[in-house]
Structure 1
């Protein structure tokens, strides 16, 4: 049950400040199990749970009196203070691990000093004349005096509105969801009352968990949270898949008070004996960025993990945090599960947003041609750079990784002095951290990024956000623009630069809906079966044997599985038992599930499937002569690639000749029309509501002209006229206009184009349904492609055939038709392979050929795996409901269908989509491509690098190779062993100091050391040319091979050769890295 308190406040009991919240009493932790697997954790448990004779009461509460609590917490004296701990660190023992700070000493409620800790704060208090100005009339009054002193030390004079609402709710012990803007202090609103309770109650560690969706958030949070904890004498640690073994051992020996982790790592810790015992003491769990988890299978995984934790530790307090949520009540229900209450604190204080949409027109063609750019692209770049310079530092968001890479290369081409770096998931961690720190220090004017910087990673002060192209969704825009003006009272400024007419109208709609607070609803997966199998496997590792009734009750306490039936669970257990080797032994007679006779396969499966993020192999694209062109994501190949399909890659259109195992063979095409951009698989789907408002906006423009864009959507007159021109031209030519209540169908050349304002998911569904219906009627095959506003059907279908197919679908069973239409599609087969891997049918390490996948489809179509694949496809990628409603409206006449027939030229609205399909892929001729590559390579010479001498270790300088003479040598010792590094200057100095003082590189700089040795060897052998080669992402052997081919007197030829070798190397590397091994 989700409750909303008055003005966002909490509902529930207001307990005394020293009293433990109800439901948090503990019994003794479980006994240790066996099988040490993860070093330092005691390994996974495959044995009895060992609760002891006291057992549990209903809903995870342990049965027993205060004795269990006394065993854990120690006896308390007359003041309520606890005596010495029995199995924790001794008082005053130093904290440990890189994530911990300060010393820990147990102090009483009266604020006894720890050595150097509180006394230092008291000295600070005496030195701070503004300490008495801290507002203690509201939420801060509830906090421990030491926390209030730290607030003063941080210069915080009073709570923000979200803190005023949320801190009392959290302090009351209620489950709380906090929804508040970025920069409003919501992290402290959740954290400070928890730290307050730890100070007052002194529970054994681990007493609090902070769960985040991204490791990058962990990096920031550990710095932020550790400051508070270290000042309070508490310990904090971070734990994820990359945590070193020695740190894991330290955490097992001496657990932290608060552990920051991810859902996947928490799942590992639940089956690791030692850490499991520590987790049995958890009293508080905070889940950050809950909207990022709730909408996919990682959220379903976390929901069950939290119930497994509650079964181990007893009921604990749950606190969720989010900056952007369209349906907070659903998120609150997801956080706590059915049967528990949650106070939803929605605090949206006056956080002003200023969001503009620009649609610049093309400038002079001569200048654009000289730069090798499309005139419209040049105009957009000039607007972007002007905005970025006037608001530096800025974040520049794109929707795909490819767009980010294209954009930064163009910026460097146009303005080599503009300090910008790129940040997305495909680049190395070192480069991402360098971009983050560079922006924070003020060394960069901008970082061009994708969703990798959408969440709360700390990049310092950002004055504005620029979005290149429509953000596609309202929630995305609010989340991204919220990164600017990162505090209450500051304006969050955003500029969307539209790339075409569709983009301009879509961006205007999204900006209006963002300022009106019309966010998309949260869509939570319903009982995914692959997560179910994975979680049952984890529970069996914990228990060895469990009654089906108990297992069902546990699963139903999680929100995604609240409606799980006993028959559904029995089907999953039957499935696990039927695998060879089995993942479970299921006895219907006993009504119980058991660990199989050999637990080895169960252990392997559990650790193979820790993450629900699909592993996406890469496909290498090659010409028929075997030469490489680039790499495609499996998602793109699955959804779009088949023989005859045309797509754009590396600036050229290609036609698919063969699809082999891990390889796509193509030939070049001279005709870009209909070519699909190779990053379309990364597209963020435009929602139905946005697409329908775009349709309504086209109708209103036809009725009243562009002034509606100016008066209601805030566009400039000039940009509004450009955005409206295609609509007004269609009206002027007397052609029916597609709107939210009118579908138009036209044919031009080989394409029938169906104009529907239904969004990407609905159009994807309808496109495949139409192709299936047309194929059934004519016996021919059709290729379909869609965007949020149109469906393109390539083939011999006339507009009349398309309209008849559309009307015939109105009387069909849409779900059955859709299953038949999609069952042979790669989109469905991809889901099937993912489900089969996550459910133990196919090893995560095995490679599957096309024939293997088809055999898998035939075997699994009507099994639990096939049903999960269809559920996942239907819920995540399609919109059957929207299509059904549209077809019903067509049959009833409330939506008109206009048949325009075959046209000599496409309608203006169709032309927008067709031009996007051609231009958006950036198809360029060879001469223009050579100019682009050369200009981008030249721009690297002007990028700042760090030069360091690897002989004397006494020379470090930040410079540009364009400013350095031809003779590179050390000004201190004269050596030519000069390293050329794209790294932080402080890191390079730390490396040289380590080499000087200890004769070896610091552990965290070993990779930088290897790069320094490699580049210095190139410079020593090849001089300035070696330094130039160091700017390219090449292994030393490859760079040496290029440099040894000639003396390279022509710098342009050298740059082109290095750029070509870098591209080929990256293609080979990605192919090798992504290709799974055969089992």
Structure 2
């Protein structure tokens, strides 16, 4: 059924309040509401008419109260025991925030409220089972668990209202698909209840309504976001120090500022650079809950004026008044920018002001396009996953546990009422057959019967979020953690000696131990080099295509960028024109030869370019019998190729690839990849085909593929890859445009635009890769290393210092001797041993080691202290380093060589 979409506006602004129960009106006045927002004026009358509703409005327009004021009004008149209203949020942190607000309202109105999630204490769970609150705040996963308890299940019979907060955040994921079935399972106990979805701005609100309500009618209230936004774009500079200064200028104005970045690495680096200001905190998902809550509280109190955050602050967590929002680098998506800038103001009828600081040419044009689209209300569509087979398997198992045994036809009817499975004919038969094979259910004719495995499976698979460990990457040169890799990437690609790319830099794996990967910067590598950009936000095709059009037309009027930014853009394109380089655009693909292979400049966005890159790589690999490495960004693909394969050969493959065949080619391309293996494992776990704690790292990819080839598990793995990781439809459209001449191809040498590499699609901070930079990092690190100097002559003087403060020729101030040992801090117990008159055999060995250290310091001075400061460098190794008589960079290379050897071999010592 089509949605009812009739924005309602009441002539008297007080009328919406007057429709509420007198007790609620009184509490509204007590709360200090002078008037209602547009969202509240339109939503409250519809909700009081018991309509299902999707409310789409900017952050800070009172969406929560829009839903809850009429729900409170009706709860006061709803008799009986059990949960009467359920409020579902996607994050536990939102649970905490919503609970604090709802407790005030419920206390004033005499209603009870509780929160339930994975960390809820057992005594609170027991209290809710015995005396359920009127309003339960929970997460999608904990809602699933309510069906498993016999007493809790009875309390669901009285549910009359379900509010889904941040429904856009759930609708596009398998979490949302699972929730949509859970709502139908809830309706089987409670009958039809009122469904209320609160959403940020999306491009397809009707689809969100169908996701929430299935075939039921619903009303839609949409408050345009554009009128509430004031966004400008500024060019911040191409190097990180200049970009940091641009951020500081923006922070110097009065008021609080929320700085959004795209990755945790950027958040940490920017936070480190700005920490000395004393008013800056960092907030992201990798930090512990206590640290995040503390940062939120300090910002709310005004103890810090600036919070640097990733997407952890996008949703509506209340952190008090925010004066400005700063987006560091392109936000990649329109909806993301709208959501982030919407945090500013956060009061009714307030304009939200934000600045995007662009960090390069691609980044600048992309930011201009996204800002224009935001102000024109052109947000991306949110596409619910349709007919996800592993979600169906999960819910079939849940239903079997809930009912014990049940007719397949009843399950089919229940699941098909969900908006995500309304057209799933034949899928249940395949899914249930696969589940029976793995003893997750038992089939008896037309009935499904639960098994002993099913309940254990459900406790491990309440969520459709795949568990994935983060593996720390530790650079032995800087002695710093440089990032994390997802376990999927490590399993598929990483081994000792492997070279991979992350954050724009090559790294060589030296050691894998204790959940940490030790690496060193690599300058050269051969063959296929896997690339990891774990937190990359994909740029949609529509944005990349408009960036291409902007490059072609150069008509910058109508875009919110300052004069300095536009001058930079014009100057950059001028360099292309001066060198007679064709400018890649929405109508031109350029192929540029480079030492590593070929850069294909394609304005296709991440997912379309991913599909093109993988399809072309298998064609090139099959044709030339060589491994082809790929790196993919929103505007270019780098093909790593052997010397004999260049742009003309890539052009032939690109022009010859039939758009109708791309999906088949991609299935072949993906079948033996680490990505497909990992996705296959994830889906198989959700089918109960692989235990959640199975050591699947030891399962060979060939065995996995042979086991699941042609099954519904493999079909779902491909479906998810083709929808979440790549855009086959847009890739096919690009190929069709090439073949009919709408998009041309030009072949040439590396241009300034091509040489930007893939940095614009990655984090903005790419470490230097040149050898001098590696040596420079080592030198700076060794200067800061702590060292203990001890006189082996008088054995009375000891000094703790850092290497850079050690004099060229250390002298004992007590006895004037130069027999000074240099000891690492963790070897300090050796000093106590050296002072003893009577020594054990072990202590005598320590004394000999210290004398060796003192002798090389005596002969080589501070140079010996520097060598001894290296990790794993003792007196014997330091002597060998000094014996090379190396100076300058060559000396530090010898230290680095010794450290590498230590990392590789220390486990065998």
**In which range does the TM-score fall when normalised by the shorter chain?**
0.7 to 0.9
1:526 is aligned to 2:391: no
1:800 counterpart = 2:648: yes
Is 1:785 aligned to residue 785 of structure 2?
no
How far the C-alpha of 1:429 sits from its partner, in A, is: 0.5
Deviations 1:438-494 (A, max 9, x none): 110000121111111110111100111111111000000000110111012222111
Is 1:270 aligned to 2:147, yes or no? Answer: yes
1:922 and 2:767 matched: yes
- Is contact 2:528–2:628 with CA below 8 Å preserved after alignment? no
Report the alpha carbon displacement of residue 383 of structure 1 after superposing the two structures with TM.
Answer: 1.4
SS at 2:76's partner residue?
A: helix
Which residue number in structure 2 is paired with residue 307 of structure 1?
184
Q: How far 1:157 moved relative to its partner?
A: 2.1
CA shift at 1:345, angstroms?
1.0
1:317-716 paired onto structure 2 within 5 Å: 317-338=194-215, 340-348=216-224, 351-361=227-237, 376-412=239-275, 416-565=276-425, 567-579=426-438, 582-587=439-444, 590-596=445-451, 599=452, 601-619=453-471, 621=473, 631-637=484-490, 646-647=499-500, 653-655=506-508, 668-670=521-523, 680-701=533-554, 708-709=555-556, 711-716=557-562
What is the Cα deviation at residue 661 of structure 1? 11
Question: Secondary structure at the residue paired with 2:400?
Answer: helix
Q: 2: distance between equivalents of 1:594 and 1:212?
A: 32
**Matched residue SS, 1:242:** coil
Alpha carbons 1:209, 1:284 under 8 Å: kept: yes
Please say if residues 657 and 735 of structure 2, whose CA atoms lie closer than 8 Å, have aligned partners that are also in contact.
yes
Task: Note the C-alpha offset of 1:609.
Answer: 0.5
Rounded Cα–Cα distance in structure 1 between residues aligned with 2:502 and 2:630: 19
Choose which of 719, 723, 741 in structure 2 pairs with 1:875.
Answer: 723
Question: Is the 2:502–2:533 contact (alpha carbons within 8 Å) kept by the matching residues of 1?
Answer: no
Task: State the distance in 2 between where 1:157 and 1:229 align.
Answer: 20
DSSP-derived class of the 1:897 partner = strand
Q: Give the equivalent residue in structure 1 for 2:899.
A: none
In the alignment, structure 1 residue 888 sits paired with structure 2 residue 709: no
1:935, distance to aligned residue in structure 2 (A)? 12
Cα deviation, 1:652-672, whole Å, max 9, x if unaligned, reads 631358999977675542359
- Supply the distance in 1 between the matched residues of 2:471 and 2:461 (Cα, whole angstroms): 23
Aligned ranges 1:629-1028 → 2 under 5 Å: 631-637=484-490, 646-647=499-500, 653-655=506-508, 668-670=521-523, 680-701=533-554, 708-709=555-556, 711-796=557-642, 797-810=645-658, 813-849=661-697, 851-900=699-748, 903=749, 906-913=750-757, 920-923=765-768, 925-926=773-774, 929=777
Alpha-carbon contact 1:139-1:164 (below 8 Å) kept:
yes
**Greater mean alpha carbon deviation, residues 913-922 or residues 570-579:** 913-922
Distance 1:217 1:594, change over 3 A: same
Q: What are the superposed Cα offsets for residues 608-635 of structure 1, whole Å, 9 maximum, x if unpaired?
A: 101111111234557999x996642225
Alpha-carbon distance between aligned partners in 1 of 2:317 and 2:537, rounded to the nearest angstrom? 21
SS for the counterpart of 1:908 is coil
CA distance, structure 2, for counterparts of residue 278 and residue 517 of structure 1: 42
Cα distance change of structure 1 residues 610 and 273 upon mapping to structure 2, 3 Å threshold: same
Match in the other structure for 1:188:
65
- Quickly say closer, same or farther: Cα 1:244–1:834, change in 2 above 3 A: same
After the TM superposition, which of the residue ranges 687-696 and 748-757 deviates more from structure 2? 748-757
3-state DSSP class of the match of 2:7? helix
Residue 763 of structure 1 and its aligned partner are, at CA, apart by 0.5
Contact 1:1042 1:1058 in 2 (8 A): no
The verdict on how the C-alpha distance between 1:670 and 1:350 changes in structure 2, with shifts beyond 3 A counting, is closer
* Distance in 1 (alpha carbons) for counterparts of 2:88 and 2:123: 22
Deviation at 1:829, TM superposition (A): 1.6
The answer to whether the 8 Å contact 1:205/1:256 transfers is yes
TM-score when scaled to structure 2?
Answer: 0.82
Give unpaired runs (5+ residues) of structure 2: 787-798, 803-823, 833-861, 873-909
Is residue 3–residue 219 contact of structure 2 (8 Å, CA) maintained in 1?
Answer: yes
Q: Which runs of 5+ in 1 are unaligned?
A: 11-133, 363-375, 702-707, 939-1021, 1026-1038, 1061-1079
Conserved in 1, the CA contact under 8 Å of 2:619 and 2:653?
yes
Moved more, 541-550 or 612-621: 612-621
| CA distance, structure 2, for counterparts of residue 698 and residue 646 of structure 1 | 35
**Matched residue SS, 2:252:** helix
Q: Would you say the 8 A contact 1:263–1:298 is kept in 2?
A: yes
Q: Tell me, in whole angstroms, the C-alpha distance in 2 between the residues paired with 1:449 and 1:854.
A: 42
Describe the SS at the equivalent of 2:534: helix
Is contact 2:329-2:764 (8 Å) kept? no
Map of 2:856 onto structure 1: none
- For residues 250 and 594 of structure 1, what CA distance do their matches in structure 2 show? 32
2:6 pairs with 1:6: yes
- Asked if the contact 2:588/2:743 (under 8 Å) is kept, the reply is yes
When normalised by structure 1's length, the TM-score is: 0.70
Deviation at 1:931, TM superposition (A): 8.7
Aligned ranges for residues 236-275 of structure 1 at < 5 Å? 236-275=113-152
1:621 and 1:664 in contact (8 A); partners too: yes
Q: Alpha-carbon deviation of 1:926? A: 4.2
TM-superposed CA distance for 1:254, in Å, is: 0.9
1:72-151 map, 5 Å: 137-151=14-28
Q: Give 1:1058 shift.
A: 15
Contact 1:135 1:157 in 2 (8 A): no
**Alpha-carbon separation, structure 1, partners of 2:528 and 2:262:** 19
Aligned alpha-carbon RMSD (Å) = 3.4
CA pair 678-138 structure 1, distance change in 2 beyond 3 A: farther
1:523 aligned counterpart, secondary structure: coil
CA distance in 1, matches of 2:354, 2:280: 18
**Contact 1:648–1:921 (CA under 8 A) maintained in structure 2:** no
- Separation in 2 of the partners of 1:890 and 1:884? 10
Give the 3 Å change call, closer, same or farther, for CA 651–740 of structure 1 in structure 2.
closer
Q: Deviations over 1:851-880 (max 9, x none)?
A: 434421221121111111111111111110
Counterparts in 2 of 1:437 and 1:259: CA distance versus 1, 3 Å = same
Contact 1:768 1:821 in 2 (8 A): yes
Superposition deviation, residue 886 in structure 1: 1.1
Structure 1 residue 287, shift from structure 2 partner: 0.3
Q: Indicate the residue corresponding to 1:1064 in structure 2.
A: none
CA distance in 2: counterparts of 1:333 and 1:253, whole angstroms = 35
